[in-house]
Structure 1
Amino acid sequence: MRRWSRSSRLTRSKSTTLYIDYPLGKDEVYPDLKNNREEIGKIDASLLPVLAEGYSELERIEVKGYASPDGNYGDNEKLAANRSRLFAWYVQKAYGIPARLFDVSSVAEDWNGLEDLLLSTKPSYYTAALDIIRRFGIFSGREKQLMNLQGGIPYKDMLKRLFPLLRRIEFVVEYRIRALNAGEASEMIYTHPDLLSLEEMYSVARYYRPGTEQYREVYEVAAFHFPDDVITNVNAASAVMLTGDLKSAWGYLRKVEADPRAWNNLGVLMLMEGNPEGAAVWFRKAVGVEPRKARRNLQFAEGLTE
């Protein structure tokens, strides 16, 4: 693999959560057991683009295994540690990665994760369960108190629905990728888009004329890989609007409609749907963000309503 000076490279990371099934009493990874092939496929998605020759250099892999709180603490501690270690060994051998790049750790009983699940799922007993978790220490009868809560029904429900979600491996890949020119980025956007930054994707878009399918594709790829970025969604909406795909434009803009940077585009979209009154509402809101553009659009919309 090629080496580059650190000044010419950018640090990036990818993370994924894996739920590996194990035979009773076993710690090794069995790829063909139950749903393990699909879970292991997540490793391919994280690692293979990074290992692509000539573009990136692997820096570190973090493997952190979690066990659920049920059972003996010492057993859970040993279980989480062994499964983390053997999972890292499996990845090391399967992908030919040096052991020195692995950072392996474990969490014996993931009580923090259980709190998060209780807060997000809000079962009928969640406030009582949270009160117990916060009042009793791990070694001061916490699990026993949970087992006795409401005749044991909540604990049985947690065993069935919540605890399996806590038995997991958090897998993080850190890597460096050298800065790419626009030509290289234009090739990689269809082969390894995960390796591209937003700026590199936008450099590809400049190759194409607005309104073309290629132009649209680049911005939609960007929105797929950076789904929480406001400007990326606004740009993707603009690109699909140029092709007349108003349904897709709504999909992008609804995700970010609370952000002022989307308001002008929302007005334009409503204009394209033949609703100048509704468009004017958005343009008025956008005046404080993009005054020149929003005022021009507002005047046009108001002219259509006279």
Structure 2
Amino acid sequence: MLSADVDGTYLVRKYLVKQHADRNSDYAVRYQVDVAQLSSTLAGNARQLDDLQAFIDKVSQDKSLRVTGVTITGYASPDGPYAPNERLARKRATDFRNYVDSRYRLSASYPVTVSAVVDEWRAAVPAVEASSIPSKQEVLQILNGSDKATVKEMRLKRLPAAWNYMRQHILPPMRHVEMAFTYDKSSVVTERTPIPLPEVEPVIHATYILVDDQPDGLIIDMDEFDCTCTM
């Protein structure tokens, strides 16, 4: 409870209510093949960075928002050896963390977690299904199969037209960094409760008549009470 005050005949209480929003603001920037340095002009990066700037500005101005954590995940496409791809993905995540730290000092203000992911070939399925890639059904069969990643890549390269399409349209978006914020949003709720009024005792007005005056005392005759109750 923030406060409790009296307003006329009402007791006014104010409460701070917190609502948790999980990963409610996500941003993604793309990286070039075999590159771990951010380019603001690549693909839709400029718009994503502008949106990130807008969110940071909102957090700094809106006191009801409290960032509880930041997650930065670097990704690499599945083509090529796994170990170098994993290192590349981690370098991308670190590069982007350095970028946001240099601009917004996020690591100094919030808990920041950095991780790396090498996408599996199966992760390309939605993009392939929505595309006009040659030999689509054969490509999907390879992607959804149980072969090892190296075998899948070898089989895809045996489909030159499909492989060239994947290199140009499917694989590039998989080389990216995602950034997610978790934060609490609080709001003030006001409760107004009527204050009970105290009960008022009735006031009794009596009429007294002196009927006799004797040495040993007074005899008083009282007529009916005239009882008036006031509130």
State TM-score, norm by structure 2.
0.64
| C-alpha distance in 2 between matches for 1:33 and 1:156 | 20
Which structure shows the higher strand fraction? 2
Residue 131 (1) aligns with residue 131 (2) = no
- The CA deviation string for residues 238-286 of structure 1, in whole angstroms up to 9 with x for no partner, is xxxxxxxxxxxxxxxxxxxxxxxxxxxxxxxxxxxxxxxxxxxxxxxxx
| C-alpha distance in 2 between matches for 1:53 and 1:138 | 49
TM superposition shift of 1:59: 0.8
| C-alpha distance in 2 between matches for 1:104 and 1:14 | 17
2:29 to 9, 12, 18: 18
Q: Secondary structure at the match of 1:98?
A: helix
Other-structure match for 1:104: 114
TM superposition shift of 1:134: 2.6
Cα distance, 1:26–1:148 mapped onto 2, change above 3 Å? closer
Cα distance, 1:140–1:27 mapped onto 2, change above 3 Å? closer
1:69 to 68, 78, 85: 78
Residue 165 (1) aligns with residue 173 (2) = yes
In structure 2, the gaps of 5 or more residues are 1-15, 191-231
TM superposition shift of 1:56: 1.3
Residue 178 (1) aligns with residue 189 (2) = no
- The CA deviation string for residues 25-60 of structure 1, in whole angstroms up to 9 with x for no partner, is 542335467864433213213332123252211111
Decide which moves more: 64-73 or 156-165.
64-73
Residue 88 (1) aligns with residue 103 (2) = no
Cα distance, 1:154–1:32 mapped onto 2, change above 3 Å? closer
In structure 1, the gaps of 5 or more residues are 1-6, 183-306
TM superposition shift of 1:14: 1.3
Other-structure match for 2:9: none
Which has the higher relative contact order, 1 or 2, with Cα contacts under 8 A spaced 6 or more apart? 2
| C-alpha distance in 2 between matches for 1:129 and 1:162 | 12
| C-alpha distance in 2 between matches for 1:33 and 1:125 | 29
Which structure shows the higher helix fraction? 1
Larger radius of gyration: 2
State the superposition RMSD in angstroms. 2.9
Q: Secondary structure at the match of 1:130?
A: helix
TM superposition shift of 1:83: 0.3
Retained in 2: the 8 A contact 1:28–1:86? yes
Cα distance, 1:33–1:63 mapped onto 2, change above 3 Å? same
Q: How does 1:228-239 map to 2 (within 5 A)?
A: none
Retained in 1: the 8 A contact 2:18–2:185? yes
- The CA deviation string for residues 175-209 of structure 1, in whole angstroms up to 9 with x for no partner, is 11211569xxxxxxxxxxxxxxxxxxxxxxxxxxx
State TM-score, norm by structure 1.
0.50
- The CA deviation string for residues 212-241 of structure 1, in whole angstroms up to 9 with x for no partner, is xxxxxxxxxxxxxxxxxxxxxxxxxxxxxx
Q: Secondary structure at the match of 1:107?
A: strand
Q: Secondary structure at the match of 2:61?
A: coil
Retained in 2: the 8 A contact 1:31–1:37? yes
Q: How does 1:177-256 map to 2 (within 5 A)?
A: 177-180=185-188
Retained in 1: the 8 A contact 2:36–2:88? yes
Other-structure match for 1:155: 163
Identity rate of aligned residues, in percent?
Answer: 21
